[in-house]
Every structure is written in structure tokens, then in C-alpha cells.
Amino acid sequence: MKSLERKFIEIEEKNPNLSTYMIFAQAIKNGHFSKDKLARYFNKLVDPDDYVVSEKKALLKLLMIQNK
């Protein structure tokens, strides 16, 4: 299991009431992940019901800023 996924699961277990988007945002904070890796794990870990699909590109841009 990759470190990003492991961190996501740890946060999810401690905060079961958070949306998967919020958990993902916390998991990547200051992680310096590549844009490609962020997009792949976003698709894998974040429930599509937790965001508006038409705003996905904007959300990924925001997450890239947070990731640095």
C-alpha cells in the first residue's frame, strides 16, 4: 500500500464523519506529490458523491497548491 493511501486510511479511521474529499485534502497536505499521482489517487480514493464532477479540474488545481 502506498504512503498516500495509508495516510488517507489513517485519517479516515480517526475521522469517520469527514467526507473523502476532506480526508484526501488532509492526507496530501505538504506531501509534495506529483500532479499525476494526485490525480490518480484522487480518482481512487475520493467518492464522486463528495464533489461536483464538473469542478474536478478546479479542485485538483487547489489541491496541487495545498500539496506544496
pLDDT digits (tens, 9 = 90+) for 21-38: 999 999 999 888 999 999
Length of the chain: 68
Its pTM stands at 0.91
Intervals of the chain under pLDDT 70 = 1
Domain that holds residue 27: 3-67
What is the C-alpha separation between 64 and 32, in angstroms, rounded? 9
Q: Are 28 and 49 in contact (CB under 8 A)?
A: no
Q: How many structural domains does the chain have?
A: 1
